[in-house]
Structure 1
Amino acid sequence: MSKSISNENIQKYHNDLLDRKEAKVMQRAVSHNGINSSAANFEAEGNMKPNFSIEIDTGEVANQKHSGRCWIFAALNTMRHNLAKNFNLSGDFELSQIYTTFWDKFEKCNWFLENIIKTADEPLTSRRVSWLLDSPQQDGGQWDMLCAVIEKYGVVPQSAMVETAVSNDTSELNAVLNQKLRIDAIQLRELASQNSSDIEKVKDEMLSEIYRVLVYSFGEPVSEFNFEYRDEKNEYHIDTDLTPKKFFDKYVNLNLEDYVSIINSPTLDKPYEKTYTVDMLGNVIDGRQVKHLNLEMDRLEELTITQLKNGESVWFGSDVSKESDRKKGIMDDNLYSKDELFDIDLLMSKDEQLDYHQSVMNHAMVITGVDIVDGQPTKWKVENSWGNQVGSKGYFVMSESWFRRFTYQVVINKKYLSEEDKKNQEQDPVVLDPWDPMGTLAFNEK
């Protein structure tokens, strides 16, 4: 039987507070300074100096500005690192994020329309249809979705397709696209209910309209271009008549099939050493499937360090909103002592954080270094994509405890996997619900 809060209850809570001698002082401190400032642990901040025993030089950071394209920026950053090194490019060289964004959004719109057709026999009140309509398309995504776009469309240098006002702040575009897609969903569901033979024709007309919206917002994607650059010795180079796929093959020169997603999700529904995918999560129809191999955290960390030691940076997904200071560029779960401040228990295990919606994967960055002391990692160097005005010229320091608690995914070259890992990664994946925490990077991006 439910019970409401009585006046007697409130009086008891008030008396409990009066028994605390520090209550008035704490109230003044917190209400005046804010929770994080009052709970700041300066000792923890002092331990997060940007010094690392293993470090990859990756140049200047990029800036996703007011968009949720962290996963694209992080992935293209990992690719530009070797490209810049192999061709002696300057530290500010970037691959075009807007080119990849254009095709990702276009493919996501088609993905949504196809899923609307597939679920047309389900009621609007079904959770799957409701989930589709909540966010028809968005800025976020997953590593495998990035690979699917690049495998189909290639990449280009930023000089071939530059950012626009719309790509720097995607909120208006997302509002327009999502409204249009919901209107399209009404028409497609009606046609499906009538078993209309015109459904593919109508969908094709919808995609033509979406293409127009994207071109007006981003510009039309370049199909052929010249690559001109000066190297670090100021020597001039030009490569003419390149296509995006030719550019990727010649300059980036990565076999994306070699890179796989490793997750750490210690929840009971995801046994370790199994693979998982997320229902209805993707962008390119018939493209690469989102697929995660779930491993224990010790193994995920070991693989991350191995890849760094071999000179390769590591794309990773985490919950950047937790226990971090954006301005100072520190991610440390000891940064704020909020439990001590309020004298309450705020401790949750990693599986509890996921199961009870306290933490989700919402941001992708790049690990470019680690500090190992007495054989153990103590902190990590992170390349973010929020510009050079935060952290140490855009780079963040992540504590070992934060890494283990709030990192959920890394992308690892298969050559670093054990034979057992490789065998497990080849399994057919278990299909998770669309709203599973291992898919949230596509919807809760920062």
Structure 2
Amino acid sequence: MSQEITANQTAKFAEAFAADSKKTAIQRAVVKNGIQGASENQAGHVESNPVYSIDLTTGKVANQKQSGRCWMFAALNTFRHKILNNFNLKDFELSQSYTFFWDKYEKANWFYEGILNTADEALTSRKVAFLLQTPQQDGGQWDMIVSIFQKYGVVPQAVYPESFTSSASAQLNKYLNKKLRIDAKTLRSLVAEGASAEKIAETKEAMLQEVYNLLATTLGTPPTTFDFEYRDENKEYHIEQGLTPQSFYDKFVGVNLDDYVSIINAPTADKPFNKSYTVELLGNVVGGKQVKYLNVDMSTFKKLAIAQLEQGESVWFGCDVGQSSNRDGIMATSLFSVNETLGADFDSNKADRLDYGESLMTHAMVLTGVDIVNGQSTKWKVENSWGDKAGFNGFYVATDAWMDEYTYQIVVRKEFLTAEQQAAFAAEPKVLAPWDPMGALAN
């Protein structure tokens, strides 16, 4: 039987609080400085000294601004590191706006196909409600950006620069999602009326034309051919003429994306280690790369990341960036003592946080270094995409304990996996529900 809170209970609670001088002292500190400001520990700063035994050379940190494109920035940053080294450049960026355009375009088609595939289900079904809740958004995962690269290539930022909308995407998302929901009603109605496949395809094509028009209006028309001029560190001038996005990728990036695999650490009972997984309804490009992971224990997870860093290659990774971190560039489980400040227990293990909705992957960045002491990793260098005003000139420090608790995904060359691990990844994956935490999109 439900019980309401009585006035006597509240009065008793207030009296007990007022009578505890420690609580009222903490109250003054928190009211003035906030929960985290009153709970911050110097220890978190001390163990986050930004010095690493392996420290890759990278360019200036990029800035995703008011958009959820971190997963694109992180992937393009791994390419940028190669271009800077291979072509002797100091500063260079690939166009995040270009991949943004094509991701939005493809996500619209992915949504339309999802609506058509569930058209015989009620609006109240969980799958249909899931699709309509957020028809598309800025976020994504590694295999999704691979699908964009493989279909559309990449271009320099100078060829397709930032726009107001790519740097501040809220308005575009608002109106694009309005359109997609209206279109969803039309498509479901056509199916309910028994319209022919030709009629449905014709209607969807008209919808995609409108989506393209919307994106071109807000982001600009993406290039199909272009010339690329640059001057290297030796002041030598270079020009490449008549490039396409695909030929630019082949010449300047040259990475075989099929050589890379996604590795996750999800220590929940429903996801045994050394098995492969995918997520229903998760993707962006129809006919593109399947989103797929191999789940491993955290020790293996970190060993794979270190193996790639030791070979001089940075590592795309996904994490819950808002946990135990600050804008000074520190990500450490020791950073805040909130339990003591608020007099409550906020601790839980990684599996419980995933199962009960407390944590999931929210952000993608790049591992560009690691500090190994006596054979053990102690802290990691992280290239963020929030500009050079945050952290240590844009870089963050993640302690090893923080990595254990809040990192969920890395992307590494499959050559670092054992034969058994490669076979496990190649096996038919278990399909997870669309709302599984491993289907979270990094923003």
Given the two structures, how large is their TM-score scaled by the length of structure 1? Answer: 0.97
Provide the C-alpha distance between the structure 2 equivalents of 1:412 and 1:351, rounded to a whole number of angstroms: 23
Superposition pairs of residues 175-194 of structure 1, within 5 angstroms: 175-194=174-193
Paired residue for 1:99? 98
1:96-245 → structure 2 map (5 Å cutoff): 96-197=95-196, 198-245=199-246
Partner of 1:26: 26
Query: Where does residue 68 of structure 2 map in the other structure?
Result: 68
Q: What corresponds to 1:306 in structure 2?
A: 307
Report the 3-state secondary structure (helix = DSSP H, G, I; strand = E; otherwise coil) of the residue aligned with 1:158: coil
CA distance in 2, matches of 1:175, 1:398: 34
CA offset digits 1:268-319 (Å, max 9, x no partner): 1111111111111101111100001100011001101111111010000000
**Number of the residue aligned with 1:349:** 349
Aligned partner of 1:368 in structure 2 is: 368
> Structure 2 matches for 1:244-263, cutoff 5 A?
244-263=245-264
Aligned-partner residue type, residue 86 of structure 1: N
Q: Provide the residue aligned with 1:416 in structure 2.
A: 416
Which amino acid is the alignment partner of residue 93 of structure 1?
Answer: F
Q: Which residue of 1 aligns with 2:280?
A: 279
Q: Tell me if structure 2 keeps the 8 A contact 1:96–1:155.
A: yes
After superposition, the CA RMSD in angstroms is 1.0
Residues in 2 aligned to 1:277 and 1:140: alpha-carbon distance in whole angstroms = 17
Q: Please list, as runs of the form range in 1=range in 2, the aligned pairs for 1:2-21 lying within 5 A after superposition.
A: 2-21=2-21
Separation in 1 of the partners of 2:135 and 2:235? 46
Residue in 2 that maps onto 1:339: 339
Maintained 8 Å contact 1:317/1:441: no
One-letter code aligned to 1:238 = I
Identify the residue that residue 431 of structure 2 maps to in structure 1.
Answer: 431
Q: Distance in 2 between matches of 1:222 and 1:342?
A: 55
Deviation at 1:8, TM superposition (A): 3.6
Q: Distance in 1 between matches of 2:322 and 2:350?
A: 15
Question: Which secondary structure state, in structure 1, belongs to the residue aligned with residue 121 of structure 2?
Answer: coil
Deviations 1:82-137 (A, max 9, x none): 121011111x2011111111111100000001110110100000110011001101
CA distance in 1, matches of 2:350, 2:19: 34
* TM-fit CA distance, 1:20: 2.4
Distance in 2, Cα, partners of 1:64 & 1:252: 21
Residue 43 of structure 2 contacts residue 334 of structure 2 at CA under 8 Å; is this kept in 1?
Answer: no
Deviation, 1:434, is 0.8
The alpha carbon displacement at 1:46 in A equals 2.0
* Displacement after TM superposition at 1:203 (Å): 0.4
Give 1:212 shift: 0.4
Pairwise CA distance, 1:19: 4.6
Hey, what does 1:266 align to over in structure 2?
Answer: 267
SS of residue in 2 equivalent to 1:71? helix
Give the aligned length: 441
Q: Deviations over 1:4-24 (max 9, x none)?
A: 222343244234324523122
Quick check: 25-34 or 379-388, which moved more? Answer: 25-34
Measured in 1, the distance between the counterparts of 2:265 and 2:43 equals 29
Distance, in Å, in 1 between the alignment partners of 2:127 and 2:135 is 12
Give the aligned partner of residue 57 of structure 2.
57
> Are the aligned partners of 1:272 and 1:294 in contact in 2 as well (CA < 8 Å)?
yes
Aligned partners of 1:16, 1:412: CA distance in 2, in Å? 55
Moved over 3 A (4+): none
Question: CA offsets per residue over residues 396-427 of structure 1, 9 Å max, x none?
Answer: 11111111100000001001111111011101
Q: Are 1:291 and 2:305 matched, yes or no? A: no
Per-residue CA deviations over 1:250-274 (Å, capped at 9, x if unaligned) read 1100000011100000011111111
Distance between the aligned counterparts of 1:278 and 1:367, measured in 2?
Answer: 25
CA–CA distance in 1 between the matches of 2:360 and 2:265? 12
Distance 2:372 2:12 in 1: 51
Which residue of the partner structure matches residue 89 of structure 1?
Answer: 89
- SS state of the match for residue 267, structure 2? coil
Q: Is the Cα contact below 8 Å between 1:225 and 1:243 reproduced in 2?
A: yes
Distance 2:441 2:184 in 1: 24
In 2: Cα distance, 1:231 partner to 1:177 partner? 40
The gaps in structure 1 that reach 5 residues or longer are none
Unaligned runs of 5+ in 2: none
In the other structure, the counterpart of 1:315 is 316
**What percent of counterpart residues are identical?**
52
| In structure 1, C-alpha distance between the alignment counterparts of 2:332 and 2:421, rounded to whole Å | 30
Matched-pair contact (CA < 8 Å) for 1:260–1:413: yes
Distance 1:43 1:279 in 2: 42
Task: Quote the offset at 1:43 in angstroms.
Answer: 2.1
Distance 2:216 2:15 in 1: 64
Q: Distance in 1 between matches of 2:66 and 2:104?
A: 16
Deviation, 1:26, is: 1.2
Is the contact made by 1:98 and 1:163 (CA closer than 8 Å) also made in structure 2? yes
Aligned-partner residue type, residue 114 of structure 2: N
Inter-partner Cα distance in structure 1 for 2:18 and 2:36: 24
Q: Partner amino acid for 2:115? A: I
SS in 2 for 1:382: strand
The whole-number CA distance in structure 1 between the counterparts of 2:194 and 2:269 is 42
C-alpha deviation, 1:227, in angstroms: 1.2
Q: Secondary structure at the match of 1:88?
A: coil
Amino acid at match of 2:320: D
Q: How many Å separate the matches in 2 of 1:18 and 1:103?
A: 58
CA distance in 2, matches of 1:269, 1:8: 45
For the residues of structure 1 that align with 2:207 and 2:119, how far apart are their CA atoms? 17
Does residue 440 (structure 1) correspond to residue 433 (structure 2)? The answer is no
On the 8 A contact 2:273/2:296 being kept in 1, the answer is yes
SS in structure 1 of the partner of residue 140 of structure 2: coil
Provide TM-score, normalisation by structure 2: 0.98
